[in-house]
Amino acid sequence: MNRIKQAFKDRLWLGVIIVGLFAGLIGGGIALGINNLVQHHEEVTSTRVPAGSNKSGGTKVNKNKVDLNGEASQAYKSVQGAVVSVINKQKVQQSSGTLGIFGYGNSSNGSSSSDSSSDNKLETASEGSGVIYKKSGNSAYVVTNNHVVKGSNVLQVILSNGKKVNADLVGADSATDLAVLKINAANVKTVASFGNSNSIVPGQDVLAIGSPMGSEYANTVTKGIISAKYRTLKAGTDGTLTSVIQTDAAINSGNSGGPLINMAGQVIGINSMKLASDTQGSSVEGIGFAIPSNEVVTIINQLIKNGKITRPSLGISMVDLSNVTSDQQQSVLKLPTSVSKGVVIMDVNSGSVADTAGLKKYDVITKLGDTQVTDAGSLKAALYKYKVGQNAKVTYYRDGQQHTATLHLTKSADTTSTDGSQQDNN
């Protein structure tokens, strides 16, 4: 009897447990289902585009909370009126005949191409920028880059108000890549001033103003900093090394000749070039260069006075020692292995400064004054620090022996033009 009762109790508890488990599964499933249903409803509701629309609008433009007369804006406004676009027009050969599929066809009057006449037509060869820095009587003067005006037959200047005026070339210097133009001052209202480029510091804010990509984008301003106070580059078109200011303010084609200004609106440099890629061809951004204002002022004052820059000239033609093979350095020049940089004299003009000092063909110049000469550019840069009439000590090698001589810089040469040969002349 007791066994029967115990068995009954065991079955009773087993049933309770089974019912409990079953009820739990059902309840959990129902809860899970309801939860999923709620989540799905919320998701659909939150992503569905609401019905109806608000046609009353109501959005408005709020008052600017920024200072619109900040330091950069004031600096730009102070010099904007002095910044111009420079148009270089050159003659192109053009025929009056029409161009047919197989060459020049008949002209509109029915004559053959052999009867067509040719004339020169002026076309825009390039555009750049410039800045008006001086106004004297009826004339105003613009400084720009030499490469902007090079080869021009006619020069025009577009003022900040859009008015186009003719310009005359006062003078140009290929070594520093600077040029001065003269225009009528009747419409000139603003003249820029120069600051001291020796007082700039890396990290200070600057603005570059000009006409990137041409006059269509005239008076474009970009902001950056002075990245480096001094960089030595070939800023001119004759290979002369010169010191320039490096900036990360955006400088593009057409900015050449425009001003680089400080936050006081003073011109501290004339924008000249940018580095677009490295020697491996990789693109480079944010590396632009400007000619320091102190150098600019020195050059433009001489151009106004003389129309050209007069510098000492050695009267030689030369090649970089790096272009001479190692075998020839030993067999022809007889240089010691310790000498790897310099310039090789290839010709000496009779009666020149070099000739008077006793320099000869195949002499290797390694030093001028206190400056080491590594190539033709560095020799010109060192030479141009002297004035006509001064003396300079030159160090050179001949037949493996080091010599020195004194150069009496009595001869001069202007740098308004460049030499296109492989050998450098000086």
Catalytic site residue 272? no
Q: Which two tokens stand for residue 146?
A: 């030499």
- Give me the residue label for tokens 């066809």: 105
Q: Which two tokens stand for residue 94?
A: 């053009």
Residue 297 contacts residue 178 (beta carbons within 8 Å): no
Residue 408 contacts residue 391 (beta carbons within 8 Å): yes
Measured CA to CA in angstroms, residue 206 lies from 120, 225, 301, 310, 349 at distances of: 43, 5, 25, 32, 46
Measured CA to CA in angstroms, residue 190 lies from 38, 84, 136, 142, 299 at distances of: 72, 11, 13, 12, 22
- Measure the CA–CA gap between 181 and 132, rounded to whole angstroms: 9
CB atoms within 10 A of CB 336: 12
Catalytic residue among 129, 160, 215, 256: 256
Catalytic site residue 177? yes
Is the Cα torsion angle 330, 332, 336, 337 positive or negative in sign? negative
- Measure the CA–CA gap between 97 and 113, rounded to whole angstroms: 6
Catalytic residue among 85, 126, 129, 147: 147
CB atoms within 10 A of CB 412: 14
Catalytic residue among 85, 126, 173, 177: 177
Catalytic site residue 113? no
Residues tagged active-site: 147, 177, 256
